[in-house]
Amino acid sequence: MGSIRLSMRVFIARAGAAALALPMLLGGAIPASATIVSHAMTPADSNVRYEYLGDSADLGQVLFGCQTRSRDPNFPRAFCYGPDQIRAAYDIQPLLNSGVDGTGRTIVIIDAFQSPTIQQDLTLFDHLWGYPDPTLNIFHPFGLTDYHVDDPNQRSWSGEISLDVEWAHVVAPGATIDLVLAPSNQDADILAVTKWAVDNNLGDVISQSFGEAEACMDPALVAQQHEVFTHATAKGITLFASSGDQGAAQPTCDGQPDSFVLSASTPASDPDVTAVGGTHLLADAHSGAYSSESVWNNGFGASGGGFSTIYRRPGYQAPFQPNNKQRGVPDVAYDGDVRGGVIAAWGSSQFGPGQFFIFGGTSAGSPQWAGIVALADQKGGHRLRAINTPLYHIGKSDAYGSAFHDITAGNNSFGGVSGFPAGPGWDAVTGLGTPDVANLIPLLL
C-alpha cells in the first residue's frame, strides 16, 4: 500500500502574466480592466448538493442502506452509489482488472481553503472499500487559510475537497493526487495556484470543480486564465471543469440568493477545457450494471450547460452545431444527481470526523473524468493533452455508440431561466454523454 503524504512546503509566488488578447473571441479581444476586480468562484457541489448519511461507527458493511433501497421519491434518503457500483456502471473495472489503474500518473486537483481532515477521510474511505491509499501531496503555495467549520463557504469547500480527492482516487487508484489549495475562492487566488501548478508541471491532468457566470470574472483575469490553459495544453496537460449546477443559469454576480442569469460557466467554457455536465444515473442497486440515464434536473439543481458569450465555436464543435457560432458546454457528462449521488467520507463538516455523506453536482464528474484520463495516460504511455478534438471525432464516428451513453431525455431549465433540451448526439445539457470507459480509452489513444 502507498502512503498518504502531506506536503507543507510554501512556495514563492510567481508574478502573474499580463492580460493578453484571446483567440476565438466573440466580438474581438477582451479589454483588460484598469483595475482587476476579483469575484468568487463557487464549488460545484454547493451546500444544498450533499446529504448526511451516517457515522462510520454505525457501518457494518460496505453496502449502505441508500445503495440498496428502492428509488421511492417519498423516501427521505437519497439513492446512492459506492465506488464498486460506479466502476461497473461506467465500465471502468475491466481496465483496473488488467492492471491499468493510473500508476505513474498524477492528478492535480485545484480547490480553495482547506479540509483539515482530508488525510483521515481518505484513509477511512479506502479502509471501508479495501482500497490502497494513494500518495496524496497537499500544496498551498500562497499560504493556507485557517479553517473555521462555522463558515459555510469554507465548510462547502472542505466537502468539495473530500469529494474531489476520494472520487479521483476511485477511478484511478494507482495515481498520485496533488491537491493544490488557494487561500480563498477569489478568482485571482484560484488562478494563481492553477498557474503555479502549470508552471511547475505538477501533473498530467487538472480537475476544477468550481465556476461562475462568465460575466462575473474580470476580463483581464479571463485573458490570464486562458493563457494559463494554453500553456497547460502545450505541456500535454488535460484540463477538466464542472459545467455548473444551476442548469443554463448561473448565480448573479451580486450574490443575491436564488437570483440567476442565463450564462455558461467559466472556466468550463474555455475551449481548452473539457466541460463536464451532470446526469441522473440508474444502475443496478447491487452490481452497478448500467441501466439508463437522463438529464439531472430537480430541486437540488440541474446540469450546467449553454453557450459562451466570450468564445467562438471551436472547430471541433462545428459539425454538431452548424448554426451557432458560440462555444457550447458541456462537452461530456457524468452522474451528478444527489438523488443518486456518490458516497464520500467528510470529517470537516459540522458533524465532525468519521462521517459519510452523499454528494452530487457536476463536481462529482470533473475529478472522475480526470481519473479516466490518468488511466488513458498510463495505458498509452504518454499524456493526452487537450482531448476535446478527439472526443468530438469519436462523437461523429461509428464508434460513438460504444464509447458514450447518449443522453436524450430532459432539459436544463432552472431557477426561472429557460434552458436547452437533451437530444441525440451533442447537446448543451450533457454534451456527448457519459463514458463507457473500457471502450472510450482505446479510441482516445
Report the catalytic residues: 160, 164, 363
- DSSP secondary structure letter of residue 21: P
Adjacent-strand bridge partners of 356 = 54, 345
Classify 251 as helix, strand or coil.
Answer: strand
Strands 136-139 and 210-213: unpaired
Give yes or no for a contact between 305 and 419, defined as CB atoms under 8 angstroms apart.
yes
- DSSP code per residue over 152-163: HHHHHHHHHHHH
Q: Which three cell numbers stand for residue 214?
A: 462568465
Distance from C-alpha of 395 to C-alpha of 372, rounded to nearest angstrom: 17
Closest CA to 327 of 263, 401, 384, 386: 263
Distance from C-alpha of 397 to C-alpha of 401, rounded to nearest angstrom: 9
- Give the burial class of 129: count Cβ atoms within 10 A of its Cβ; 0-12 exposed, 13-18 middle, 19 or more buried: middle
Establish how many alpha carbons lie within 13 A of residue 348's alpha carbon, considering only the half-sphere containing its beta carbon: 27
- Give the burial class of 74: count Cβ atoms within 10 A of its Cβ; 0-12 exposed, 13-18 middle, 19 or more buried: exposed
